[in-house]
């Protein structure tokens, strides 16, 4: 018989229009992915929570967005900007101002749940073309009007969100087209505001749309794929889930058109050249602080799903798993596309979340693979058929040599099924005062264990806190660590302090400030100690060069020093 | 019976010490590679030359180096610099000043043959350590003493060679060590002045020297490999002959230590991160204009020569060969390491230079492959055994589908034999008034034919001039073109004008200023039209930031505007 009282009262409806929740809810208003009941049981047990704690949702944000901040921008400026983009592409209502001020950091969502808006623009502007962007950038620079850029809205670094006042440019409304596909050059030219699915669909349908002889893929599938923009991928140096094979956004962008107050820069589409330091590189990772990325030429890849091989393994230990991953990464046979190993805690909790047939568990235990020691590895290989097969064969050979047991392609397939859906759980848990948040960093093979140990030690030193981690972007010279923590926590100040402590632990252990989310405003305080004052001065010099009035994405990446 | 009068009187002896020839002769004083007699016949026929024209060498440069330029540097500065590096590491004699002012451009060699030195430093300094470099950079910046850097001396862009006066730092004398090999991270830390062979030997002997379990290779083998420095590879964005697999210098350098008047920059060794624009990238290609590269962390690769596969093919036409190369580059099975296709004229003249058994020629003709139409392709595949085999298999499949005939691994092997030796022919031919020079550019697959046609048209419009070309650095998105021209020409002004015309033709047809040699002083005049004034202004801003006294490698990359 069903025991309905055990099921948490998850929110099941699209947030009503105009509400705070409609601003902060991840992804589609109509989509949900609830934690499994086994997970809820785990959380209850570990955090000392009861069924009752999951009965009434808190700070759901169902009230209507209101804003007690009159538009401070001089109406003259608004008129001028309306004359550039057309009146219908300018908004100054409270809802628009709040919506386009918000990214997806935990901190912001905690604030929005309580109706707190730290800062927002006065004017939301939806440019129709790069010409619009050029005119607005010029105008705002002349009149020293703060100007920030919004693509898909999925930043987790407070990279989005203006400082108070000024204008926010929303690129995803109109500037979201594929401009062309060159089959010869194997490139696509796109507007920066295009989101992942539109790009990928155009590439897969290239024969119909662009008369190519093959289908293509963009190769870039971050967890935010469905809602993030190509421009965002580039300016934050993002990585997709298949980056180990296809490369990071850093590698995928061949050329850019970048509008700055100091003029528009169009870089060439050569895959390599030796004509001085590459301006294309200087703009990568500049997070809108130097200008507005309006177009990019991307490398694209043949879409050949028929060649994909899926595999998964269980390793007896984290050490064995990491050694195998390193040997694979350095094996000179090409890289897996999806390539991911979970640490023991993530493995264990992940199996609870997604379920594992009990006979598999018995089998693994008989092979000496114990919970909280064993590590799950999943992967795919892609590309030309024999290439993909050889990658699979070599991966199997190496994994076996480190004592791993093959779990077939099942776990990889199961993971793919929900690869873009996990962020949906965040709202569910937060409704009941449980916070789930992530941080990520770069590591070398030499320091991965130290970073993993020390960050875990910090996170788990807090009572009622779980810490899971995985590595999922591999290179011969290192990888990343992606930490996920769950905590019963709803005080924003406590959250901020805890978060700062984690970043401190990452940087102290020798990790980077970020592997693939960028710096934004959230991580900027660590740049000085991480990069050193000398490198920050270079950023400032470039900032002053491109943006002398210092109007662009103020507060992101670098301060005035 | 021998007919000795037909053999040109090639220079056969090491140039005497102290002579101009000892400065400009390529490579080892004791090594020579003479053009084959068939080549001499070809040159005689096409340039209307006679045996007598190859009997007496002209402008051999056998006189002693003299210099009518007193050292202008205040002795106080010399004393101070001597106190930093030690007196034995400072020289101001004419020979040293000339030697360390010269690179290997044709223009410079034409000048040196006549005893002309356009500019040289007052003081040649051999720093012992990065600490020495820091102190000298600081001192020279404070006192506005021009400072340039010399690595291996193989620049072909006038990237070496000081403007008049000041100090030249020679990094290859002492700062030429491998500092360490990390087998875990698969990296090597080196001093920037190390030359190719020392690096490669240390990596191959890593088990003995660094207690690694595997042997390694640097993967970077430019034609100048034996005499160029790692620092030079990086600051000019060089490419090796196996770059299609291993990557260009741009990809090989993971981290750098870079001494500038604005301080020393040490970048991290992460293979990827998202902590803002990468300072590591800004220094790549900066050609010593921003500072002095003193150390670098390089990606290294497993050395597995037992897995190397060699292959070569003859294509019926340039078009068929390029189409096949594109399909290979975009085939998603990994890339060949050596990967090179010669255009019809290079194929034909190359076969004359190296010889082809006549039965092969007959066979090819029977297959419809005519001289001045057919194109030679050579390649190797490296890496893990099955990977390398699959690359070979796929290359064969694609080449066959474009009508190519396999020539087995013979041609590739033969090419490897002289891969670093061709520059030696330059002196031989110049001794008899025949000039051989090269230019190179990046192309996309869309514009390769246009660039090839138009540059060839320009070069061959001059009577008594041959033009050969090949592509040898491949990417899915394009490749390079490397033009070699031979001309009977000994007037330097005529040469300069002709050279300018070629670069004009390259840039007008849509090629880059350089694919892998850099800009230097020779190509700087094209940067404005090629990159645009806006990008030059960025270079100037960076230059002023790092080198406010504008003392470093003056005249290279960017002028003061």
pLDDT digits (tens, 9 = 90+) for A336-382: 999 999 999 999 998 877 777 788 888 899 999 999 999 999 999 99
For residue range A170-188, what is the model confidence (pLDDT) as tens digits? 999 999 999 999 999 999 9
Q: Is pLDDT of A404 > 70?
A: yes
Residue A556: its chain B contacts at CB < 8 A?
none
Q: Indicate the class that CATH gives domain B75-170.
A: alpha beta
Question: Hey, are the CB atoms on B386 and A384 less than 8 Å from each other?
Answer: no
CATH T-level fold of A305-417 = Alpha-Beta Plaits (3.30.70)
Task: Report yes or no: B305 at the A interface, CB cutoff 8 Å.
Answer: no
CATH 3.30.70.3450 domain position(s) in chain A: 305-417
**How are beta strands B90-91 and A123-125 bridged, if at all?**
unpaired
For residue range B254-301, what is the model confidence (pLDDT) as tens digits? 999 999 999 999 999 999 999 999 999 999 999 999 999 999 999 999
Q: Is pLDDT of A527 > 60?
A: yes
Task: Report yes or no: A306 at the B interface, CB cutoff 8 Å.
Answer: no
CATH 3.30.300.330 domain position(s) in chain B: 424-516
Q: Is pLDDT of A307 > 60?
A: yes
Query: What pLDDT score does A5 carry?
Result: 53
% of chain A residues with pLDDT over 70 = 99
CATH 3.30.43.10 domain position(s) in chain B: 75-170
B518: left (phi over 0), alpha (psi -120 to 50) or beta: left
Least confident of A101-110, B198-207, B360-369: B360-369
Question: Hey, are the CB atoms on B384 and A331 less than 8 Å from each other?
Answer: yes
Query: What pLDDT score does A1 carry?
Result: 47
For residue range B417-431, what is the model confidence (pLDDT) as tens digits? 888 888 999 999 999
Instruction: Give me the mean pLDDT over the B455-462 stretch.
Output: 98
Instruction: Give me the mean pLDDT over the B512-533 stretch.
Output: 96
3 state SS of B102: coil
Q: What is the DSSP letter of A253?
A: E
Q: Is pLDDT of B324 > 80?
A: yes
Q: pLDDT grade, residue B496 (50/70/90)?
A: very high
Query: What pLDDT score does B3 carry?
Result: 53
Close Cβ partners of A2 (under 8 Å, ≥ 6 residues apart) = none
For residue range B148-205, what is the model confidence (pLDDT) as tens digits? 999 999 999 999 877 778 999 999 999 999 999 999 999 999 999 999 999 999 999 9
Task: Report yes or no: B188 at the A interface, CB cutoff 8 Å.
Answer: no
CATH 3.30.70.3450 domain position(s) in chain B: 306-417
Structure tokens at B127: 């720093």
Task: Report yes or no: A426 at the B interface, CB cutoff 8 Å.
Answer: no
CATH 3.30.465.10 domain position(s) in chain A: 178-302
Interface test with B, best of A214, A218, A271 (most B CBs within 10 A): A271
Question: Hey, are the CB atoms on B386 and A538 less than 8 Å from each other?
Answer: no
Secondary structure string (H, E, C) spanning A477-506: CEEEEEEEEEEECCCHHHHHHHHHHHHHHH
Tell how many helices (H) and how many strands (E) occur in chain B.
Answer: 22, 18
Chain B, 242 to 271: residues with Cβ < 8 Å from chain A are: 248, 250, 254, 262-266, 268-271
Question: Hey, are the CB atoms on B477 and A285 less than 8 Å from each other?
Answer: no
Q: What is the CATH number of domain B424-516?
A: 3.30.300.330
Query: What pLDDT score does B375 carry?
Result: 97
The shortest C-alpha distance from B481 to chain A (Å) reads 11
Question: Hey, are the CB atoms on B542 and A538 less than 8 Å from each other?
Answer: yes
- The structure's pTM equals 0.97
Instruction: Give me the mean pLDDT over the A82-105 stretch.
Output: 96
The shortest C-alpha distance from B304 to chain A (Å) reads 10
Q: pLDDT grade, residue B6 (50/70/90)?
A: confident
- Number of other CB atoms surrounding residue A107 within 10 Å: 18
Q: pLDDT grade, residue B361 (50/70/90)?
A: confident
Strand order in the sheet with B178-182: B178-182, B187-191, B292-299, B253-260, B263-266
Q: What is the CATH number of domain B306-417?
A: 3.30.70.3450
Q: pLDDT grade, residue B326 (50/70/90)?
A: very high
Instruction: Give me the mean pLDDT over the A72-100 stretch.
Output: 97
Mean pLDDT of chain B: 95
Q: Is pLDDT of B1 > 70?
A: no
Q: Which residue of B has its CA nearest to A524?
A: B275
Question: Hey, are the CB atoms on B238 and A475 less than 8 Å from each other?
Answer: no
CATH T-level fold of A424-522 = GMP Synthetase; Chain A, domain 3 (3.30.300)
Chain A, 437 to 496: residues with Cβ < 8 Å from chain B are: 442-446, 473, 475-478, 480
CATH 3.40.50.150 fits A178-302, yes or no: no
Query: What pLDDT score does A3 carry?
Result: 52
% of chain A residues with pLDDT over 90 = 90
Would you say B115 and B66 are in contact if contact means Cβ atoms under 8 Å apart?
yes
This complex has an ipTM of 0.96
The shortest C-alpha distance from A447 to chain B (Å) reads 9
Number of Cβ pairs closer than 8 Å across A and B? 272
The shortest C-alpha distance from A428 to chain B (Å) reads 29
Q: pLDDT grade, residue B307 (50/70/90)?
A: very high
Chain A, 133 to 172: residues with Cβ < 8 Å from chain B are: none
Token match 């204008």: residue?
A167
Interface test with A, best of B272, B401, B523 (most A CBs within 10 A): B272
Instruction: Give me the mean pLDDT over the B94-114 stretch.
Output: 95
Q: Is pLDDT of A4 > 60?
A: no
Query: What pLDDT score does A484 carry?
Result: 97
Structure tokens at A548: 């002398």
Query: What pLDDT score does B5 carry?
Result: 53
Q: Is pLDDT of B373 > 70?
A: yes
* Partner-chain residue, chosen from A284, A512, A545, that has the shortest CB–CB distance to B270: A512
Q: Is pLDDT of B488 > 60?
A: yes
Structure tokens at B80: 């101070």
Question: Hey, are the CB atoms on B276 and A527 less than 8 Å from each other?
Answer: yes
Structure tokens at B25: 């002769």
Question: Hey, are the CB atoms on A272 and B299 less than 8 Å from each other?
Answer: no
Residue A390: its chain B contacts at CB < 8 A?
384, 386-387, 390
């Amino acid at each position: 018989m069903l025991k309905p009282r055990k099921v948490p009262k998850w929110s099941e409806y699209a947030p009503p229009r105009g509400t705070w929740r409609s601003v902060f809810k991840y992804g589609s208003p109509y989509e949900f992915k609830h934690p499994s009941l086994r997970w809820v049981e785990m959380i209850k047990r570990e955090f000392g929570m009861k069924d009752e704690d999951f009965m009434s949702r808190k700070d759901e944000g169902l009230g209507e967005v209101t804003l007690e901040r009159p538009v401070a921008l001089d109406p003259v400026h608004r008129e001028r900007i309306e004359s550039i983009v057309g009146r219908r592409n300018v908004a100054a209502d409270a809802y628009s101002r709040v919506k386009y001020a918000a990214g997806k950091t935990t901190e912001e969502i905690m604030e929005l749940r309580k109706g707190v808006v730290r800062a927002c623009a006065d004017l939301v502007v939806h440019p129709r073309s790069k010409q619009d962007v050029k005119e607005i950038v010029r105008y705002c620079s002349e009149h020293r009007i703060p100007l920030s850029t919004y693509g898909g809205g999925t930043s987790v670094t407070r990279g989005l969100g203006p400082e108070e006042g000024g204008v926010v440019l929303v690129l995803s409304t109109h500037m979201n087209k594929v401009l062309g596909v060159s089959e010869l050059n194997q490139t696509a030219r796109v507007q920066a505001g295009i989101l992942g699915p539109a790009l990928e669909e155009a590439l897969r349908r290239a024969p119909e749309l662009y008369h190519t002889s093959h289908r293509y893929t963009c190769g870039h599938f971050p967890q935010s794929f469905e809602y993030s923009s190509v421009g965002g991928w580039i300016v934050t140096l993002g990585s997709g889930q298949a980056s180990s094979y296809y490369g990071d956004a850093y590698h995928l962008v061949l050329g850019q058109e970048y509008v700055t107050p100091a003029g528009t820069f169009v870089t060439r589409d050569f895959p390599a050249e030796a004509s001085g330091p590459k301006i294309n590189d200087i703009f990568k990772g500049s997070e809108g602080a130097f200008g507005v990325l309006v177009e990019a030429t991307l490398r694209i890849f043949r879409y050949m799903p028929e060649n994909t091989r899926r595999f998964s393994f269980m390793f007896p230990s984290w050490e064995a798993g990491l050694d195998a991953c390193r040997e694979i990464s350095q094996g000179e046979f090409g890289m897996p596309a999806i390539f991911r190993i979970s640490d023991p805690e993530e493995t264990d909790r992940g199996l609870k979340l997604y379920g594992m047939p009990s006979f598999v568990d018995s089998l693994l235990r008989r092979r000496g693979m114990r919970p909280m020691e064993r590590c799950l590895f999943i992967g795919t290989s892609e590309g030309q058929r024999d290439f993909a097969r050889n990658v699979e064969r070599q991966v199997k050979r190496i994994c076996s040599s480190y004592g791993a047991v093959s779990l077939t392609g099942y776990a990889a397939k199961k993971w793919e099924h929900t690869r873009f859906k996990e962020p949906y759980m965040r709202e569910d848990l937060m409704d009941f005062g449980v916070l789930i948040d992530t941080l990520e960093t770069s590591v070398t093979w030499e320091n991965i264990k130290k970073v993993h140990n020390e960050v875990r030690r910090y996170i788990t030193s807090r009572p009622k806190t779980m810490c899971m981690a995985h590595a999922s972007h591999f290179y011969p010279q290192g990888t990343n660590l992606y930490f996920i923590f769950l905590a019963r926590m709803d005080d924003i100040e406590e959250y901020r302090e805890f978060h700062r402590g984690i970043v401190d632990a990452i940087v102290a252990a020798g990790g980077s400030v970020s592997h693939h989310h960028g710096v934004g405003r959230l991580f900027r305080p660590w740049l000085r100690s991480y990069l050193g004052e000398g490198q920050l001065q270079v950023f400032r010099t470039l900032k002053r060069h491109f943006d002398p009035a210092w109007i662009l994405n103020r507060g992101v990446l670098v301060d005035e020093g």
